[in-house]
Amino acid sequence: MDVSLFSNRYFVRCMTEKDIAEIYALCRNNALYYKHCPPFVTEQSIADDMKVLPPNKDHSDKYYIGYYDKDKLIAVMDLINKFPNEKTAFIGFFMTDISVQNKGVGSEIIHELCAYLKEYGLSAVRLGWVKGNPQAEHFWHKNGFAETGVTYDTDNYTVIVAQREL
């Protein structure tokens, strides 16, 4: 996949360890998210997330990316290609900067991403949100994601698995 084609509006690139401080600055302001999905973010948890992979996947299918509006980081996403199957992409994490929220930026990013992934040949995008997080649930419903009926429990919360067909 060519991440530079994920958006026409924003500059998109793969993030590295050098970007952790900038990602942390974006994440730490999203208190509502971490209330539902503890523990609260740290620079170490971002470093860990940059490396973590689902079962039976390797780094070639992982895209931990940043979206830039000129020089400003406005969104972060963790995308796994071909998971849980060859025709599906999985969004493990998506967050916009609090300064741009509720202006349609997140929806525009997802709209452009889905168009790219369809063109690339995938047929679905899957993700999960924490049960009871109103912001995440509203956002993903608004963007065409529907509950699959699958949920799973972690120690701290329940995850609702949802999918959008492309």
Residues near ligand COA (CB under 6 A): 30, 33, 94-96, 100-107, 129, 134-136, 138-139, 142
Shortest Cβ 120–ligand COA spacing (Å): 22
Shortest Cβ 26–ligand COA spacing (Å): 9
Q: How many CB atoms lie within 10 A of CB 71?
A: 6
In the bound state with ligand COA, the residue whose beta carbon lies nearer, of 47 and 98, is 98
In the bound state with ligand COA, the residue whose beta carbon lies nearer, of 86 and 154, is 154
Helix (H) or strand (E) holding 19: none
Which one, of 92, 73, 70, 90, lies nearest residue 81 by Cα? 90
Question: What six digits make up the tokens of 40?
Answer: 């609260």
Shortest Cβ 6–ligand COA spacing (Å): 15
Residue nearest to ligand COA (CB): 106
Question: What six digits make up the tokens of 132?
Answer: 């009871």
Shortest Cβ 91–ligand COA spacing (Å): 7
CA 9 to chain centre: 18
Separation CA 79–CA 90 (nearest Å): 6
